[in-house]
Amino acid sequence: MVAKSGAARREPKHEEKVASTVSHAPASRRVTKDSPVELDRVIHERVRLAIVSALAGVRSLSFNELKDLLGLTDGNLSVHTRRLEEAGFVTCEKVFVDRVPRSAYHLTAAGRRALDQYLDHMESLIRRVREG
């Protein structure tokens, strides 16, 4: 990314973005662990949540399998899988099968932990809402 001055600016890593969501709030308005503000924005996005969820139940899925399963376009799936790769939640293994390139996507251990944390967080929010 390029700043106004023309100097290159470093894009914050996923962990830095998540940590910065609440660190600047005044103590009286600081959010709790179960706050909706604390949701992992990488996984919370609908398409990325669907990708991670689909990969959680299998060893791997090809690009075309994911595309067909989720009803996405090539471009949409490509953008979202790339974002998940950048966050370290998904890996892509590119191989050739009968001279045809094939991309196989796998959920990483970090991706599994992030999904589990996300689901725990959502369950906690749901419990709080239901308990009133």
Please check the confidence at residue 8 and state whether its pLDDT lies above 60: no
39-131: CATH architecture: Orthogonal Bundle (1.10)
Confidence category of residue 34, pLDDT binned at 50, 70, 90: low
Residue 69 phi, psi (nearest 5) = -60, -40
- Average the pLDDT over each of 17-26, 63-72, 79-88, 118-127 and give the range with the smallest value: 17-26
d(Cα 1, Cα 100) in Å, to the nearest integer?
34
Q: What is the pLDDT of residues 54-113, one digit of tens each?
A: 999 999 999 999 999 999 999 999 999 999 999 999 999 998 889 989 999 999 999 999
Please check the confidence at residue 27 and state whether its pLDDT lies above 60: no
Please check the confidence at residue 19 and state whether its pLDDT lies above 90: no
Tokens of 53: 């969820």
Q: What is the pLDDT of residues 40-60, one digit of tens each?
A: 889 999 999 999 999 999 999
Q: Please state the domain extents for the chain.
A: 39-131
Tokens of 79: 């953008």
